[in-house]
Amino acid sequence: MQDWQSPQSESRDGATPRPTHELDDSWVQPSSSRMLTNYLADVEQNLDEHRWELALRDVADLPKIAVALTDPELTSSSERCKAWCEHWVRPSTAANESGVDHESICRVLNEKSGHGTTASVPSVELRRLRLRRHARNAPRGFNASHAGKENEDTAETFAICTAVVEGVRRWYAHLACHDATAQANLARLAVLR
């Protein structure tokens, strides 16, 4: 048998190990939620097929979905969505080359979301997530090289969408997969008809 140590275990020299998220914050494990995995794959497929508006609509829903999943009442507010974006969404290096920065991503998401100031249940967005559980075939994946960037607007949309999708994957891997409330809410959504 191999002598394997997890990143959380004590190192051989007795030094205190660093938490996993400090080891490599850029790499995240894939989501184990079928609904969330299919939702993100649908966004990537829309990008691959140049359906920019559809991809942006679904991406604008993601902060509301993430905030609602971690709330016991499944509510979301614009302030909590903004805080979620500031914490989890980081533009990729490709996004920085296209002139998209963190503030512009959060601004576009806020404009597209049409979220009120009071906390409410984002039922339409959660329904879109819930419908992903019915997907029978695994999505074919996303090939970033196919994502043509014909002009500045599509390059910005592409950068925003990929940054938010990466942010949701990071959020799920580092927080939601271990959060009892998020897991209970995902389970509740899975059994709703």
Between 78 and 133, residue with greater pLDDT: 78
Q: What is the pLDDT of residue 117?
A: 67
For the segment 77-113, what is each residue's pLDDT rounded down to a tens digit? 989 998 999 999 987 665 455 557 778 888 888 787 7
* Per-residue buried b or exposed e for 111-140, using 16+ beta carbons within 10 Å of the residue's own CB: eebebeeebeebeebbebbbebbeeeeebe
**Dihedral angle, C-alpha 130, 132, 133, 138, nearest 10 °:** -170
Mean pLDDT over residues 72-80, rounded? 93
Above 50 in pLDDT, residue 143?
yes
Amino acid at residue number 188: R
Q: Residue 114: which pLDDT band, with cuts at 50, 70 and 90?
A: low
Amino acid at residue number 187: A
Q: Residue 11: which pLDDT band, with cuts at 50, 70 and 90?
A: very low
Between 65 and 141, residue with greater pLDDT: 65
Mean pLDDT over residues 1-6, rounded? 41
For the segment 22-60, what is each residue's pLDDT rounded down to a tens digit? 434 544 444 578 889 889 999 999 999 999 999 999 999
pTM for the structure as a whole: 0.74
